[in-house]
Structures are given as C-alpha cells and as structure tokens.
Amino acid sequence: MYQVLYVDDDPDLLLIGKKFIERSKEFLVDTNTSANNVLDSVDLQSYDAIISDYQMPGIDGIEFLKKVRLKNVDIPFILFTGKGREEVVIEAINSGADFYIQKGNDTLSQFAELTHKIRQSVRRREAELARIKSEKKFFEVFFKNPSISMINSTEDGTFIDVNNAFLKKIGYSREEVIGKKIDELEIFADQNTLVHIVNAIHENGSIRDNEIEINTKSGEKIIAHLSCERIQIGNQDLFFSYAIDITEEKKAQEALLDSEEKYKLIAENSHDLVYIYRDTGFLFFNQKIPLVTGYTSEELKKINVWDLLPPGDREVMYEYAIKRIAGEAIPSHYFAHYLTKSGEIRDAEFTMEKITFQGEYALLGTVRDITERKKQEASLYESEQRYRTLVETTDTGYVILDKSGCVIDANIEYIRLTGYSKLDDIKGRSILEWTSPDEEERNKEALLRCIRDGKIRNFEINYIHLDGKLTLVEINATVVKANESFQIVTLCHDISSRF
C-alpha cells in the first residue's frame, strides 16, 4: 500500500479527500494543515506521493514544493488547487511538480482524477527507480567486463564511455577517447567494416560475433569477435558493443590449420583430446582419443560423436554446437563429461571453435581430462574436513600465529583458554594481550626464542581472563613455512589442575 501525504489548510476538504482516495485500497493518506510542520518532519521521505493546495497561510504550495525539492526529495508532487492562473501552472511545472489539478465543483470527478494522477505519478516514479537501478547494474557489469566494451552515440558514433579492458588493450587513456567519434580514432582496421556494422545494426537491431580487426594505439592489430546492439539509457539512443579478443586463438588456429599435416603433427603431440567433427561424425581425431576412450580408430570413424557424451551433457553440448555453427556466442570453455567404451563417466574441460575444414564449416574441439584433478580436489576437501574435526574435538588448545605472535586461526579449546568465546574475538590480536601482565616480557622472549630455534617445548605461562582469572598453560610450538613467510603452530594445554 502506498503512503500519501495530503496538505491543505481546509480540514473538511482533507477529510473528504482522505476518504475518497483511500476507497481504492491502494493508498493510505496522512493529512496535515501546515506545510511548515511537514517540512520539519523526519518522515517526509517515507511518502510515495505528496498532494498540496496552492494558497495556504505561511507558505504557498509552490514554495512548499521548492523546499521539498531542496531537501533532495524526488517524491511525486501534485498541486491540487482552486487557483488556475497560467503563470501558477507554469511555475509549478518548472519547480518540479508532477501534475497540476484544478479544484472544481464536482467533488466526485475531481477526486477521481486526483486518485488517477497519484497512481500514475507513483508508478512512473517506480519505473524510473527501476530504470536507474537497472542502469546502475548494467554499468557495474560494463566496467568489470573482461571484453573490450564501448558505448557510442547512434547519431555520429561519439564515444560516451569505454571500460577498463578497452583502455588496457587498445592503449588509449579515457581522456583520449571520450567525446571522440569512432572514425576519428580509426580503431577499425577496415573502415568498410564500420559502415557494414552500422548498416547491419540499423537493419537488424544487433550483430553477433562478427570477426573484425582492431587497431591499437601502438599500431598492433587485435582480432576479435564483435557484438553490438542498440540500447536505451535514459533518453539516449546508444550502441553498446563488446569485442572478445581472439587474437591468440586465431593465431593458434591458423598455425594449426596451415596444412593438415602440420595440424595433425601438433594435434598428435597434444596432451589433450583434439578432434574435428561435422554433424554427427568425426573428420579427424588425434590418437589420444582412442587411447583414453577405449574405442579403436575404426570404431570412432563410424560412431555418432554425441554417443560419447552422457545424457544431460549431450543435449547442452548439441545446443552449443548448433549455436556455434550459427555464429552465436557460447562460452569459450565449459565443463562437462564424456563416456568411455566401458561406460565410465569422466570429468573434462571442453572448448569448441567454428573453423573451415576441407572447404566447409566444421567444429574444432579439445577435451582436457580433469578426472584425476577432481578426485584430488575431493580428497583434499575430505582431508581438510577431517583435520578440522580433529582440531575442534581435541581437549588441547590449538593456535596458528604469524611471526609477530598474532592469531591467524585457533580451535575452540584455545579460545576458551584465552577467556574469549569466539575466534573473531582474538583473530589478528597478539597473544600478549591475554598473557598475565607480569609475564608479558617472558612470553615475548619465548616467542623470539621459538622463531630463532624453530621450536619451543614445555614452556609454561599464565593466561589471564577478562575477569582476572589466571590459567596456567603449557605450550609446545613449532615454526613451519607458509608461502614466502612462516607461521608458528602451537599446542596449548591447561595444566592448572596439576597444582
């Protein structure tokens, strides 16, 4: 339900208006006879719409409107008044009023019109807020997009904005690009390409994966798949374009397909499964495929390639193939599975590219088997879980410190020894903070000795809780390497009961 504020110095009219507007069950109306009182309220921004009379004591409706806008409040504002002079209407609109409605003798129809205008202004504001939110999300993605991305005017190609990938790969600064026309920078190696792209967009509304050459500032050329479409941002009609750099892939393709013999030589020496297929059959495959799948080369020449994929993956991969042949964008790398002759399902990373082979379009694919890697990852995860369970269930305090004696990680028992209740209470803090004050220097010396000697054994120290309670702790610590630095792995045992 929408909250509406109705301000008028006529209490009777406020009562009638409130009852009529609330009849729709869409609005809840608060009334006030003083605009000044409203301006001082902290609840002003909680309303979805404001209705105001024009002629009121203290300040009139337009002055009220101006003060609302000065507070950066963009709530829909409707002037509902008996004053219908043209100059009042013009000033109201210029001051930011959404609608101006003149009171009349027909109460029923005037409040029906007012209710309609409230509904219209509230929905218009919601649509505007949704648009702003959508545009904000668009620009967040735009600037983070790893592809070369740009926004240009549809009128003359003026650069409105470019993302960081554009600046990094093309080599220009933002100041050198924004405000320039696209043909001024001559980033398209072939200017006829630009004409073709613009004509295609005007005709079809968008283009997808057009292969182009881009000139960088340094004179190098980038081969890219360019996609472009018309978008609306605010009231601007714009071109949004993004180019995926395929220079390295193209060089690799050209080197690979320079001749079948060269290609076969490269493919046969690849650690990956490499193949070319069209429709349902293989045109070429390296010897890694028979070796891994268990099929003979003769069997693979006759097999339907889609039978090498398990159900589920088969449908997705087939759709990718159709899209790639049609020139549509698909992920450059994706994870799926393949089947061996024995029925084993193995994990793999796939790539797929559209190529010309023997004078016709075909698909070049590579498969990198990651089954063992996935097993290792699963095993590592299990090991980490067992380690965590062991550490958390032992009655010995366990803590990892950095070289300055600050906590990196600790189990529940160690946290208890410090007198705190959770890891966040001690993480990043020095162990000296819960060392008994009269033993801080001794503990500091022990830390330095541990770092120097690589270990310390059977060191006893008193920890002090927040309530002043002392806990005698026996410490055994070892220095271990961690990346480029080292950490101190420490076991702490409560030995208070010995005394």
Answer yes or no: do 353 and 274 share one domain.
yes
CB 305 within 8 Å of CB 277:
yes
Q: Is residue 387 part of a domain?
A: no
CB 125 within 8 Å of CB 76:
yes
Looking at per-residue confidence, does 416 or 263 come out higher? 416
What pLDDT, on a 0 to 100 scale, did the predictor assign at position 414?
92
Average pLDDT, the chain: 85
What pLDDT, on a 0 to 100 scale, did the predictor assign at position 83?
63
Answer yes or no: do 15 and 126 share one domain.
yes
Domain termination residue (choose one: 208, 224, 249): 249
CB 146 within 8 Å of CB 165:
yes
What pLDDT, on a 0 to 100 scale, did the predictor assign at position 483?
66
Answer yes or no: do 126 and 8 share one domain.
yes
Answer yes or no: do 327 and 368 share one domain.
yes
CATH number at residue 26: 3.40.50.2300
Q: Is residue 96 part of a domain?
A: yes
Q: Is residue 291 part of a domain?
A: yes
CB 381 within 8 Å of CB 427:
no
pLDDT tens, residue by residue, 252-311: 766 655 555 656 666 667 788 999 999 999 999 998 999 999 999 999 999 999 999 999
CATH number at residue 181: 3.30.450.20
pLDDT tens, residue by residue, 191-220: 777 788 888 888 888 888 888 888 899 988
Count, residues in the chain: 499
The Cα–Cα gap between 277 and 55 comes to: 80
Tell me the mean pLDDT in the region 347-361: 85
CB 313 within 8 Å of CB 334:
no
CB 170 within 8 Å of CB 212:
no
Tell me the mean pLDDT in the region 357-364: 83
Pairing of strands 49-52, 77-81: parallel
Domain termination residue (choose one: 194, 216, 249): 249
Concatenating the DSSP letter of every residue in 237-275 gives EEEEEEEEE-HHHHHHHHHHTS-HHHHHHHHHT-SSEEE
CB 462 within 8 Å of CB 480:
no
Q: Is residue 482 part of a domain?
A: yes
What pLDDT, on a 0 to 100 scale, did the predictor assign at position 387?
62
Q: Is residue 385 part of a domain?
A: no
Exposure class string for 41-51: b at 16+ Cβ within 10 A, else e: eeeeeebbbbb
Q: What is the DSSP letter of 286?
A: -
Answer yes or no: do 228 and 289 share one domain.
no
Tell me the mean pLDDT in the region 476-487: 84
Answer yes or no: do 127 and 159 share one domain.
no
Q: Is residue 379 part of a domain?
A: no
Answer yes or no: do 343 and 296 share one domain.
yes
Answer yes or no: do 120 and 153 share one domain.
no
- In this structure, the number of other CB atoms found within 10 A of the CB of residue 247 comes to 15
Domain termination residue (choose one: 327, 342, 373): 373
Answer yes or no: do 243 and 297 share one domain.
no
Range of 158's domain? 145-249
Q: Is residue 245 part of a domain?
A: yes
What pLDDT, on a 0 to 100 scale, did the predictor assign at position 147?
87
Answer yes or no: do 125 and 9 share one domain.
yes
Residue owning tokens 């026996």: 474
Answer yes or no: do 9 and 126 share one domain.
yes
Answer yes or no: do 26 and 128 share one domain.
yes
Vertex 170 angle, CA 164 and 174, to 5°: 50
Q: Is residue 255 part of a domain?
A: no
Q: What are phi and psi of 72, to 5 degrees?
A: 60, 35
What's the domain count of the chain? 4
